[in-house]
Every structure is written in structure tokens, then in C-alpha cells.
Amino acid sequence: MADLLKVSSNPHVRSKVTTESIMFLVIIALLPACGFGIYNFGIRALFVVLVTVVSAVFTEFLFGLYKRKQTIGDLSAIVTGLLLAMNLPVSIPYWAAAMGSVFAILVVKCLFGGLGQNFMNPALGGRCFLLISFPALMTNFVTDAYTGATPLAALKAGEEVNLLDMVIGRTAGTIGETSTVAILIGACILLLFGIIDLKIPGTYLVTFVLFVGIFGGHGFDLPYLTAQLCGGGLMLGAFFMATDYVTRPITVGGQYLFGAFLGIMTGIFRVFGAGAEGVSYAIILGNLLVPLMEKVTIPKAFGRGGKSHAK
């Protein structure tokens, strides 16, 4: 009887895509923006990245010891650490950066049941925790390289901004958010490998442009809108954080709704608010509404009156 064959329910083949392979691609896609941040802000940026990544992985490792189930192999803690670092100013003290990581992994993710169970994006949770706890540290964008305000702050004050610098990323800001080009290179990697699609980022950006165009007070002025799009954490948020699988709706309708909601909220925070964290708060608020958005957008099953056109 030793030669029995293996049996299982159908199907008997599986695709090669795994959670690790997805996370690995996300890490690769984050590298251009991360690399540009290090080039732009100097070697300290690299140390901030290392601190957040190492403390994120270490937190997950310790929690794994406690739960007697190790999950660092899925690489998601690295993604969280990277994303958090990219959302921090380069001047952040290392201890604060580490604290953000611990909060993101332990409180936002592990305590709610680990990967897949967190109700908000861990990296953004960590960022907002730091923003509320240490607002001064988190908004200190003065560095050796840049003494001025961030482009968005300048824009709000009515000053001229250099659009080319903004697109390339030669501006003040958090480590990973400044370079639109680098972020878009990463986004293209994710799109090409089918990790994300344009439903959420597309709706997000379009809604945002419409909102700012109507309520921003500058009309549909191209340089102004471009500056708004490339400024702050919008690009990073739209392509890397709003698309986080766990904290976005799974239904197609829900994804459009989610994108539109983020666009409007970001617009409100940017136009009427004073803070520098419109995108983060918009996405976190959106995360909290995901169950509701899914509930109202359950798709119609095939043959139950739903439209499904042949391609």
C-alpha cells in the first residue's frame, strides 16, 4: 500500500503565482522610487529605509515566535517597511521610524489576525500614527538639499513651482514620494505583471483632477493640475497604497467607488485642509469604508441578469 498515489479534489494544477512572488514584484516596483529618494536626499534616506524594513521584519518575527507560526517568508513585512520609509521625511529620527514600523506591523496587522486581516494599510497606519504623535518631526522637510517648503505648500501659498523638478522629483517631501517618474516606472512594472490594474488608480486620479479643477479655484489650468497630480504623496498613494489588495474592495464596482471616494477626499483635504497628509488620510478613510463598498457592489452572477459582454 506504500505506492498509493496522491489524490485531491479538482483542479489538479496550480498557477505559479504565489503570495511571495507578488510581494517580491511589489518590492522590485518600489525600488526605483526608493532609489531616487536615496539619490535625492542622501545616504541618510537609505538608513531610514533600512531601519523601517529591519524593524518591520523583526516585529513580525517576534510575533511569529509568540504565535509559533512564522510568516516573515511571505515578504509582506518588507513591503510594509519600504512603504513606510517612503512616506517619512528624511530627517525623521531613527527611533521614530522604528516606532512607526512596530505600530504598523504589530498593531495594525498582527493584532488583527495577520496578513489579509488588517482593515487598513499597515504602512499608512504607521505613518498616521507618527503624524498624530510627532507632527513636528513628520513635517520637517528642511534638509541639506532643500531648505524650502514642499511644492504643495508652495502652491498653496501661491508661489510658482518648477514643474520639471516635480516630475523628476528634485523637490522636498518624503523619501519616496517626490519623483513622479520613478513611481510611474514602478507602477508600469506592477501593471505589466498584472499585479495591479488601472481601475483604482485611474478613477482616483481622474476624480481628483475633476474635483480640484472644479473646487481648486484655478479652474482646469494645466500647470496647476499637473503640480497637484505630481505633488505630495498622490502618485505613490494611487499606485502603491490605494491598490493594496487587503484594504481595497474586491468587487469591480467597489473598486471604482473606492477610487472615486479617494479622489474626492484627497481633493477636500488638499483644497480645504491645511495638513500635508491628505492622501494618507483619504486612503485610510477609504479603507474603513471597504466592507460597505463591497456590500453594495456584489456582482450579479452569470445568467442572473448581470451584463457580461463577450470580448
Partner 1 sequence: MASLTFKGGIHPYDGKDLSKDKPIREVLPKGDLVYPVSQHIGAPATPIVKKGDHVLCGQKIAEASGFVSSPVYATVSGFVKAVEPRRVVTGDSVMSIVIENDDKYEEVEYPPAIDINKASREEIIERIKEAGIVGMGGAGFPTFIKLSPKEPDKIDYVIVNCAECEPYLTSDYRRMLEEPEKLINGLKVSLRLFPKAQGILAVEDNKKDCVDILKKLTKDETRISVKTLKTKYPQGAERQLVFATTGRQINCSMLPADVGCVVNNVDTVVAIYHAIFEGKPLMERIVTVTGDAIKNPCNFKVRIGTNYHELIEEAGGFRVKPEKIVSGGPMMGFGIFDLDVPTTKTASALLALSKDDVSAAQETACIKCGRCSEVCPGRVLPNKLMMAAIHDDEETFLKLNGMECCECGCCSFVCPAKKPLTQTIKSMRKMQLAKKKK
Q: Minimum distance from CB of 292 to partner 1 (Å)?
A: 15
Q: What is the dihedral of CA 296, 205, 36, 59, to 10 degrees?
A: -20
Q: Minimum distance from CB of 280 to partner 1 (Å)?
A: 21
Beta carbons within 8 Å of 225's beta carbon, 6+ residues apart:
209, 212, 213, 216, 218
Q: Minimum distance from CB of 287 to partner 1 (Å)?
A: 12
Q: Minimum distance from CB of 195 to partner 1 (Å)?
A: 9
Angle CA 138–185–84, to nearest 5: 25
Q: Pick the closer one to partner 1 by CB: 29 or 88.
A: 29
Task: Identify the bridge partners of residue 125 per DSSP, sorted by sequence position.
Answer: none
Q: Pick the closer one to partner 1 by CB: 132 or 295.
A: 295
Binding site for partner 1 (CB under 8 A): 4-15, 17-19, 21-22, 71, 74, 76, 114-117, 245-246, 248, 250-251, 298-304, 306, 308-311
Q: Pick the closer one to partner 1 by CB: 117 or 140.
A: 117
Rounded-to-integer distance, Cα 173 and Cα 175, Å:
7
φ, ψ of residue 214 to 5 degrees: the values are -80, -45
Rounded-to-integer distance, Cα 160 and Cα 154, Å:
7
Rg (CA), the chain: 20
> For residue 251, which of 201, 192, 191, 199 has the smallest C-alpha distance?
199
Q: Pick the closer one to partner 1 by CB: 16 or 217.
A: 16
Answer whether 84's CB lies under 8 Å from 37's CB. Answer: no
**Spacing of C-alpha 18 from chain mean position:** 21
Answer whether 31's CB lies under 8 Å from 186's CB. Answer: yes
Q: Which contiguous run of DSSP H or E holds residue 263?
A: helix 252-272
Q: Minimum distance from CB of 217 to partner 1 (Å)?
A: 38
Find out whether the peptide bond into 11 is cis, omega within 30 degrees of 0: yes
Q: Pick the closer one to partner 1 by CB: 10 or 147.
A: 10
Q: Pick the closer one to partner 1 by CB: 190 or 227.
A: 190
Q: Pick the closer one to partner 1 by CB: 1 or 43.
A: 1
Task: Identify the bridge partners of residue 89 per DSSP, sorted by sequence position.
Answer: 174
Q: Pick the closer one to partner 1 by CB: 148 or 299.
A: 299
